[in-house]
Amino acid sequence: MKDFRIGNGYDVHAIAEGLPMFLGGVQIESCIGFVAHSDGDVAIHALCDALLGCLALGDIGKHFPDTSDEWKGVDSKKLLKAVVDMISARGWKVGNADITIALQRPKLAPYIGQMRSTLASVMGVAEDAVSVKATTTEHLGFVGRGEGCEVWATTLIYKD
């Protein structure tokens, strides 16, 4: 590995009743979901921002504006693929990603494996290069009150 960069990303979406919940490219069975212009996959949005941050390419809002009809209801996996393509076009490869999701409910443990394999496949990396962790906030703050979901992502990219 001759050269490497790191990036971090952060995103929040509000929760509402009766919306679909997508996290890490996986639909979560739940009667609550995320308020968003896209599919609301807050984990992928944080991951995209981390990857963009590695090369100082701005943020997800710059590349996929929520004022554009083009991105209305979009499957966030498409955004992630587009971001990985931007990085590849500049000669970089994704090394690994580490994602922490803060959500009070529902429990995400049953979905972690599927999120890791889905994200790894979209980014074209091995599953052990993608870590997804989930935590509640012990009923503290807006996450704990069930008002929103918060995600942090860290990524490393490299050039051979």
Which residues would be at the binding site for Mg ion (CB under 5 A)? 11, 45
Smallest gap from Cβ 150 to Mg ion, in A, equals 11
Residue 3's identity, in one-letter code, is D
Q: How far apart are CA 8 and CA 136, in angstroms?
A: 21
Q: Which two tokens stand for residue 71?
A: 């991105």
Task: With H, G, I as helix, E, B as strand and everything else as coil, classify residue 122.
Answer: helix
Shorter beta-carbon distance to Mg ion: residue 34 or 92: 34
Shorter beta-carbon distance to Mg ion: residue 92 or 143: 143
Q: How far apart are CA 57 and CA 142, in angstroms?
A: 30
Nearest to 76 by CA among 22, 148, 12: 22
Shorter beta-carbon distance to Mg ion: residue 92 or 155: 155
Smallest gap from Cβ 160 to Mg ion, in A, equals 32
Smallest gap from Cβ 1 to Mg ion, in A, equals 31
Shorter beta-carbon distance to Mg ion: residue 92 or 154: 154
Smallest gap from Cβ 79 to Mg ion, in A, equals 10
Nearest to 24 by CA among 148, 147, 110: 110
Shorter beta-carbon distance to Mg ion: residue 13 or 92: 13
Smallest gap from Cβ 42 to Mg ion, in A, equals 5
Nearest residue to Mg ion by CB is 45
What is the side-by-side order of every strand in the sheet holding 3-17? 32-34, 3-17, 148-159, 93-102, 130-135
